[in-house]
Amino acid sequence: MQTQKEILTVSQLNQASQTLLENYFSKIWVEGEISNLARPTSGHLYFSLKDAKAQVRCALFRFKKNALTFEPQNGLLVHVQAKVSIYPDRGDYQLIVESMEPAGDGRLRQLYEQLIRKLEAEGLFQEHWKKPLPLFPKHIGVITSTTGAAIRDILSVLKRRFPYIPITIYPTKVQGSEATAEIIRALALANQHQQVEVLILARGGGSLEDLWPFNEESVARAIFASHIPVISGIGHEIDFTIADWVADKRAPTPSAAAELATPHQNIIFQQFFSIENQLYKKITQHIQHQTLKIDWLQKRLRHPGQTIQNQIQILKTLYTRLLLANAHLFKNKKLKFTSATRALEAVSPLSTLNRGYAIVSHANKGNILRSINEIETGDSLKVRLKDGMIDCVVQTL
């Protein structure tokens, strides 16, 4: 007897597959690189996760995306927590992502950026906290591994630039789980002894994970708390750690850190010779100035008799000038008097009489007559001419 076949529709198959997958893979972690990232206006994220051999489609819905602490980008390696599902309409296999975090360097990069923002908000990177480096340090401290290339480069530069400065090395691990505690311990020890005047914190290059001890918050705060100026020389020029941001001076390499910590002996010798020349010039100028001053004083120093003779000559000169001034003053006064006399004569009535005029006055009243209306027939008058008086009687008017 032939059994009846069970035939599923496509919709039933997809629905059953969806239920099976969601029950069996309800919450799994998957690592992969983001690609084909799409950001529709709905606010959801659609992308693929891929490795070297395969890829799978993913969906991250808006309310889950808003909980992310970083911005997903193409090429970023991530860990996603998701459930496996099927989109029933098309039968496409996909991951419904519940959460996402950076993986490997991506995760460290996220922690790095978070700590940068935190410490920057607290003001640990501000310039006014930076301590000045000593111009001529009497003692230099170096915090680094004694087995790496960094210490050899530093010692080589210090020996070449200024071999007379004593150096104290604080051996520390610069990589791995123990490095953080050892770096903090070395900073504390240097500050406790107060023997060195500047500290070089250094190591060679490496990956973000290799350099991570210098990105730890505890190391950053230990550098900030140091009373001794700290120069960071970590990795290569392109490497930036949080220790670089907090340090009082950042150098691109360990060798450059050693150069910042020391003056070059040739520069010091040049400065010494320059100061010597300036001092010689100042002493020479001072001697010349004092010599000229002595010569001038010698010329001013004279015999008392000469001084008296000079004063007599001055008195004679003043006496002569006084006589000339009096004569000049008398002459000016005389000229002014003559000029005034001439002016008076010009307006004097006597001058009018000399020109043929006469002055008539009433004999009894004595007033000078100016009009015929002031006299009557029979009045006695006096007429003054330039050389005498005439008595007259008015006979007719």
Work out the pLDDT band at 391, boundaries 50, 70, 90.
confident
Work out the pLDDT band at 25, boundaries 50, 70, 90.
confident
Q: Which residue has the higher pLDDT, 304 or 210?
A: 210
Rounded Cα distance between 212 and 180, Å, is: 9
Give the model's pLDDT for residue 189: 97
Alpha helices in 147-216 (DSSP H): 149-161, 179-193
Name the least confident of 12-21, 43-52, 292-301: 12-21
Tell me the pLDDT of the chain averaged across its residues: 85
**pLDDT at 105 > cutoff 70:** no
**pLDDT at 2 > cutoff 60:** no
Work out the pLDDT band at 206, boundaries 50, 70, 90.
confident
Give the model's pLDDT for residue 180: 95
In a domain, 227, yes or no: yes
**Is there a single domain that holds both residue 168 and residue 247?**
yes
User: Which CATH number covers residue 256?
Assistant: 3.40.50.261
Q: What is the layout of strands, in order, in the sheet containing 388-393? A: 359-362, 380-385, 388-393
Total count of domains within the chain: 3
Name the least confident of 195-199, 202-206, 373-377: 373-377
Q: How many residues does the chain have?
A: 397
The mean per-residue pLDDT over the stretch 376-381 comes to 82
Work out the pLDDT band at 237, boundaries 50, 70, 90.
confident
**pLDDT at 319 > cutoff 80:** yes
Nearest CA among 256, 226, 35, 227 for reference residue 153: 256
Q: Which residue has the higher pLDDT, 116 or 272?
A: 116
Give the model's pLDDT for residue 346: 66
In a domain, 6, yes or no: no
The answer to whether the pTM exceeds 0.85 is no
**pLDDT at 1 > cutoff 60:** no
**Is there a single domain that holds both residue 160 and residue 205?**
yes
In a domain, 259, yes or no: yes
**pLDDT at 368 > cutoff 60:** yes
In a domain, 180, yes or no: yes
Q: CA 70, 76, 80, 86: dihedral to nearest 10 degrees? A: 120
Work out the pLDDT band at 350, boundaries 50, 70, 90.
low
The mean per-residue pLDDT over the stretch 387-392 comes to 84
Give the model's pLDDT for residue 156: 94
**Is there a single domain that holds both residue 76 and residue 166?**
no
In a domain, 250, yes or no: yes
> Which among 193, 228, 263 is the end of a domain?
263
**Is there a single domain that holds both residue 121 and residue 202?**
yes
Give the model's pLDDT for residue 265: 63
pLDDT in tens, 136-156: 899 999 999 999 899 999 999
**Is there a single domain that holds both residue 58 and residue 170?**
no
In a domain, 54, yes or no: yes
User: Which CATH number covers residue 88?
Assistant: 2.40.50.140
Q: What percent of the chain has pLDDT over 70?
A: 92
**pLDDT at 386 > cutoff 80:** no
**Is there a single domain that holds both residue 72 and residue 206?**
no
Domain extent for 378: 351-393
**Is there a single domain that holds both residue 177 and residue 93?**
no
Which secondary-structure segment (H or E) carries 167?
strand 167-171
3-state secondary structure of 119: helix
**Is there a single domain that holds both residue 82 and residue 158?**
no
Give the model's pLDDT for residue 47: 94
**Is there a single domain that holds both residue 175 and residue 223?**
yes
Give yes or no for a contact between 179 and 172, defined as CB atoms under 8 angstroms apart. Answer: yes
Work out the pLDDT band at 268, boundaries 50, 70, 90.
low
In a domain, 296, yes or no: no
Rounded Cα distance between 378 and 359, Å, is: 19
In a domain, 275, yes or no: no
**Is there a single domain that holds both residue 148 and residue 25?**
no
**pLDDT at 81 > cutoff 60:** yes
The mean per-residue pLDDT over the stretch 170-186 comes to 94
> Which among 76, 103, 130 is the end of a domain?
103
> Which tokens go with 91?
């039968």
Give the model's pLDDT for residue 209: 81
Q: What percent of the chain has pLDDT over 90?
A: 38
The mean per-residue pLDDT over the stretch 196-225 comes to 92
**Is there a single domain that holds both residue 31 and residue 133?**
no
> Which among 212, 242, 263 is the end of a domain?
263
Let me know if 227 is exposed, middle or buried by CB neighbors in 10 A (0-12, 13-18, 19+).
exposed
**Is there a single domain that holds both residue 151 and residue 186?**
yes
Write down the number of H helices and E strands in the chain.
11, 13
